Structure 1
Amino acid sequence: MASMTTEMKLIDMERKNISFSVEELTNIIDGSREETAIRRRVEHIIENDPVLKHKSLLHMSREERFTESIRRTVYFLKTLCPRMGWTSQSREARYFERALKERSFVVHSGAFVPSMKSFGTKEQAEKWHKLAANLNIIGTYAQTELGHGTFLRGLETVATYDRATQEFVINCPRISAMKWWPGEMGKSANHVFLMAELVIDGKKYGMHGFMVQIRDLTTHEPLPGVTVGDIGTKVSFETVDNGFLYLQSVRVPRENLLSKLAQVAPDGTYTKKASDRLMYGSMVRLRVGLLGSEVVMPLSKACTIAVRYSAVRRQGLLDPNKDEVPVLNYVSQQHKLLPQVATAYVANFASKQLIKMYVIFLKKVDSGDIEQLPELHALSAGLKAMLTEQSTMGAEILRRACGGHGYSYGSGLPFIVNRMLASCTYEGENTVMYLQCARYLMKCADKARDKKLTGTVAYLNDSSSGVCPARTSDDFLSLNILMKCYENRAKCVIQQAASKLQQKIRSGLPMHNAWNMVAPFLIRAAKEHIMQYLVETSCKFVNDLTCSDPVKKILTQLCALYALHHINNSPGDFITNGCLNSAQCDIAHDTEVYLLGILRPDAVGIVDAFDFTDDILQSCLGAYDGNVYERLFEWAKEAPMNRTEVHQDSYQLLRPYLHKGRDVLEGAAKSKL
């Protein structure tokens, strides 16, 4: 490049004014300096591999992207990983998805393979895991049904035991029972881990997991009784062949019942070996995993794009006697962007804490202790709902904040927004998730009357006044005061919801009717509990962090901004419950605006710390060097519509009319001569 553009100079100036060590903050996000080094090495190897290095995906059709993703993934798993000595157990594995941008077989490796361990005996897990790990079979997790979603008790697919042949006969009794949505089932998978109602001699035994082959391993054609295919174009996830599966009298051998939790003897005798509650453990695992990859990472990307672009996009005059200024200088723009950046950091800290809880839980499960499962299930369900909602809305705010260019796929933002939209539905629709969290909270609220609670609901034991002591902006910058404020609100709302539920029950309503009547209050209780957890987890993480003072200051300000932003978005919730008064809400609003100005000079550095390479970011607006407009122009020239100067198909349709216009204009010109 011959010379620096104005935009490149602007972002270079931004970086010269950063007040903290970006590298140190990156190490904190990654977990350590060593983890940063491992991640960067993985990214460097993948980005510089001749087969995997950058290839623009945004100008491809869905089928082209699907094929390209399969090609890249197969090469990565079967060629590059063996060459580098990488396995699914390697420390490097946690960075594969980030570095590859788009990869296939995510459900295969993230749901199908782990299900072998969760539901299968040691022998079954070894048998199927080896085949799956080598891509000798491609599998998916088939639970969701066309007419029932993921509601386990409503699923209709039936597996009936045939004692004479020692086989299970699997049927979808009606169209609504067909499996619908599982990723990689449409065209890739030849096996499914299938959830179906087990029936023996007419008696139902509940949902169980079965290994079912659906395609011939030689021809890849569907097997007899199997109707399978892709469900069609979606808003996003172009590289995933989400599928439908309709089974009619499909037989599988008795040993294909995954038998860790229960088994069926040759004579049809049913034996339960472990609690059904462990089935929910697999759902917890999926929700724990998706927060990092499908919520934190895409929101962090969107923040990086929007903040960098806002630092170089000049528009309007703050001073009529001076030049145009970067839009990041406007407080209104800061108010759009910086709370989303704060959300990305808070979500990062909270999701990692959830992972730690899950790892501890798994160790206890190995010794038969599943006492923590209800709390972990409620927390993972609530966090999944809250963070997917906040991040999806946040990403759209960031897209709009980039003006017209944010509407272009070249910005990378529409792709991020569309992909994140699905997160509010998969692995549990968010309303259902909130209600599952609320069910646990109602039990805890009842126990709190005469029992000391521990863990994430310990604050329900607090009998102190819920009045916030904050009187000044400095008070509202105190993380301890903000944590207490959210604790008090959550406690009040949960107690109110529990009281309303009990009132309905005492009035004579059956429990299920009472629950339905107060559902909006229960959802609100779950939301306030999760907000309390997010604020407390992130604030405690920062308070306990050992780092340099400038980095600690930045993280403290981001946590305070997150908490204040949500107070200011719903001040009525805090006023109604006596946590804050109107004067305090005014101070909270002023403090948020103050924080925006304080964070503004470091905004680019804060998103630089996410450390996305240009190859991973895939954005003309968010590239590290700030050279926005040249990149947009080059990207536009690569569009398929610009491969020829004349688009022949459309031109042929218009040609007669255009030629007539030519004749009219030429005739008019001649008449003037």
Structure 2
Amino acid sequence: MAPTRYLRSSASRDVNPDLDIERKTPSFDVEKLTTILDGGAENTRVRRAVEAVIHSDPVFSREDKYFLSQNESYEAAVKKAVHLKKMMHQMKWSWAGSECKYCNRALGGEVAFTLHNIFMESILALSTDEQTAKWIPLAENYRILGSYAQTELGHGTYIRGFETTATFNISTQEFVLNTPKISAMKWWPGDLGRSATHTVVFAQLYIKGKCYGVHPFIVQIRSLHDHSPAPGVTVGDIGPKMDFNHIDNGYLLLQDVRVPRENMLSRFCELHAFSSGLKAIVTEHSTAGVETCRKACGGHGYSLLSGLPSLYTRLAASCTYEGENTVLLLQTARFLVKCLGAARSGQPVPPSVAYLSAVNSERCLVRDKRDLLQPDVYVEAYRHVAIRVLSSAAAKLQALVQSGAEQHEAWHQCTVQLVHAAKAHCHYHVVKSFAEAVEKLGQEAGIQRIMKHLCGLFALHGIFSNTGDFLHDGYISGDQVDMMTASYLDLLAIVRKDAVPLVDAFDFTDETLNSALGSYDGHVYRRLYQWARKSPSNTKQANQVYENYLKPLFQNGLSKL
């Protein structure tokens, strides 16, 4: 029996009859799945309360989003950010609390100063207690506004290649920061172009002519009195992007900019190897998924009003920012190769790679297509592939080194196989973690049943899409691939029956999705037409093209007739 709230939300609105039918007979309790996804009923309650506050405030309306210019988008985002700050103070919500996260979700991320939080988080992670005590109160009270200047015009993920310099002046106890060439200018940091007063700058540290590698420095880039650039600072906006026009991504050049010694952040923490690889495959899957959805909507998916083009460009960007995916996968691969060597020599390895110490199975023992629906069967298949692909890449790497190749050159020659190995490792962990999470849902039989089907569908889809990996060494036979395909198709039909309730369980509001196609009531054609009529292009005042060009053209044609 579906929960009261779920039935009421459908019955109390004018819902497309086709969607209404989909929602009437879910095989599981949608509301309970929502609380599981939120991490508990209390989180769901808080999230909905935050969303209600946000969506009831006209300042946070996203109704005109698709018709704004870059400058208008930026101004709207700043207006929302300032208003949100006041609201959070009134509601006594903390920037580090769950309410802040739910605010960002409700606003679809379309609010300025998002890098300000990263500025504070980087200070908390990289600074001493004294530095934290100085900077965090200033940032929390918005007496300063921060950004995070890492990426350079000529250097994205390759941090060791950064060219910005910070030279320590022993006599004055200051660091002198410089941008020695155009490729060294900071490029892309959000909130930097027009908003930030301070930023964390990553630069190569030089003391007495010796380079000590990349270090972070807090640098004031604008006056706190009139917001003009600080002495020696050239800063501005990099211009329009594929999306994110509400964010003032900026550039930064430094010429003999002096910062006191205490502005160098003195405590360090780069990045867990598994997190690097997981970020890569999650963003790739998400980008591919939204593109599939866009094409499934036909021509309407190409309209900005569908929300899908914006969602696609944001997800596509996530494959690059905060670490380009191929580079991140190679970081994971480096960690895996090291751990494989340790496992083979009998040394202890981290729990995330403990499976490398086990003996790899030779054959999949499945005899019936129903066997393929057992989590231990497909998890083992993914484990087998992860070990095989990594072992193959490591063997090639070792062979190249033994043949006389330099370590870095051998690594470069193996990057294709190493990326493949990192992906296989991450896919194994995702499937394994999914299956383990489903197993913990034992007290919710209906939810566990549909989630087990969904987990199996995800796992078998991965095998179906990468059959060669599983056939390569005979682990899976051709007959077993046929059985796997049959099970995969069976699951598609089963999950299809609950597709709408599964999506509903994420509990995204219409205001957050801001999509003419993705609304709860399903009246897509009505909404597309209503939204299109709101376009500034459809007002007489906006149509000066007729007066300036079309009217003279038509009159000239008539005079000749």
* TM-score of the aligned structures, taking structure 2 as reference length: 0.95
- Which residue is equivalent to 2:344? 449
- Which residue is equivalent to 2:74? 66
Measure, in 2, the Cα distance between the counterparts of 1:38 and 1:577: 51
Q: Is the 8 A contact 2:165 2:206 kept in 1?
A: yes
Measure, in 2, the Cα distance between the counterparts of 1:71 and 1:51: 8
- Which residue is equivalent to 1:389? 284
DSSP 3-state at the match of 2:96:
coil
Q: Deviations over 1:269-303 (max 9, x none)?
A: xxxxxxxxx441xxx4xxxxxxxxxxxxxxxxxxx
Amino acid at match of 1:197: Q
Q: How does 1:449-468 map to 2 (within 5 A)?
A: 449-451=344-346, 452-468=348-364
Of 9, 14, 31, the match for 2:22 = 14
Does residue 518 of structure 1 match 2:414?
yes
Report deviation, 1:5.
11
Of 139, 144, 157, the match for 1:150 = 157
Amino acid at match of 1:75: H
DSSP 3-state at the match of 1:93:
helix
- Which residue is equivalent to 1:117? 124
- Which residue is equivalent to 1:106? 114
DSSP 3-state at the match of 2:152:
coil
Amino acid at match of 1:172: T
Report deviation, 1:113.
0.5
Report deviation, 1:54.
4.7
- Which residue is equivalent to 1:619? 515
How high is the sequence identity, in percent, across the aligned residues? Answer: 46
Amino acid at match of 2:316: L
Of 258, 263, 281, the match for 1:251 = 258
DSSP 3-state at the match of 2:283:
helix
- Which residue is equivalent to 2:436? 540
- Which residue is equivalent to 1:175? 182
- Which residue is equivalent to 2:45? 37
Does residue 490 of structure 1 match 2:386?
yes
Report deviation, 1:196.
1.0
- Which residue is equivalent to 2:63? 55
Q: Deviations over 1:43-84 (max 9, x none)?
A: 11111124324533111112111101110111111x211111
- Which residue is equivalent to 2:84? 76
Report deviation, 1:18.
1.7
Report deviation, 1:6.
10
Amino acid at match of 1:108: H
Larger mean CA deviation between 617-626 and 652-661 belongs to 652-661
Larger mean CA deviation between 211-220 and 652-661 belongs to 652-661
Q: Is the 8 A contact 2:34 2:507 kept in 1?
A: yes
Measure, in 1, the Cα distance between the counterparts of 2:112 and 2:127: 24
Measure, in 2, the Cα distance between the counterparts of 1:459 and 1:200: 45
Going from structure 1 to structure 2, the CA distance change for 1:6 and 1:144 (only over 3 Å counts) comes to closer
Figure out how many residues of one structure are paired with residues of the other and give that number. Answer: 549
Larger mean CA deviation between 577-586 and 482-491 belongs to 577-586
Q: Deviations over 1:588-629 (max 9, x none)?
A: 112111111111121110100010111111011111111111
Q: Is the 8 A contact 1:489 1:577 kept in 2?
A: no
CA RMSD of aligned residues (A): 1.8
Going from structure 1 to structure 2, the CA distance change for 1:12 and 1:662 (only over 3 Å counts) comes to farther
Of 300, 306, 328, the match for 1:405 = 300
Measure, in 2, the Cα distance between the counterparts of 1:96 and 1:214: 29
Report deviation, 1:4.
11
Going from structure 1 to structure 2, the CA distance change for 1:572 and 1:464 (only over 3 Å counts) comes to closer
Report deviation, 1:29.
0.6
Q: Deviations over 1:529-554 (max 9, x none)?
A: 00001100111111122342221111
Going from structure 1 to structure 2, the CA distance change for 1:586 and 1:152 (only over 3 Å counts) comes to same
Report deviation, 1:7.
7.0
Unaligned runs of 5+ in 1: 262-277, 285-376, 668-673
Measure, in 1, the Cα distance between the counterparts of 2:501 and 2:468: 34
DSSP 3-state at the match of 1:124:
helix
- Which residue is equivalent to 1:295? none
Q: Is the 8 A contact 2:15 2:520 kept in 1?
A: no
Does residue 188 of structure 1 match 2:188?
no
Of 365, 376, 379, the match for 2:274 = 379
Measure, in 2, the Cα distance between the counterparts of 1:616 and 1:4: 20
DSSP 3-state at the match of 1:245:
strand
DSSP 3-state at the match of 2:202:
strand
Measure, in 2, the Cα distance between the counterparts of 1:23 and 1:572: 40
Report deviation, 1:646.
7.6
Q: Is the 8 A contact 2:13 2:521 kept in 1?
A: no
- Which residue is equivalent to 1:207? 214
* TM-score of the aligned structures, taking structure 1 as reference length: 0.79
Unaligned runs of 5+ in 2: 1-10
DSSP 3-state at the match of 1:169:
strand
Q: Is the 8 A contact 2:187 2:252 kept in 1?
A: yes
Structure 1 runs (4+) greater than 6 angstroms displaced: 3-7
Measure, in 2, the Cα distance between the counterparts of 1:488 and 1:551: 29
- Which residue is equivalent to 2:396? 500
Q: Deviations over 1:380-405 (max 9, x none)?
A: 11011111111111111111110011
Q: Deviations over 1:206-226 (max 9, x none)?
A: 111111111111111111211
Q: Is the 8 A contact 2:536 2:542 kept in 1?
A: no
Of 107, 132, 141, the match for 1:134 = 141
Measure, in 1, the Cα distance between the counterparts of 2:14 and 2:229: 58
DSSP 3-state at the match of 1:51:
helix
Q: Is the 8 A contact 1:143 1:150 kept in 2?
A: no
Q: Is the 8 A contact 2:441 2:447 kept in 1?
A: no
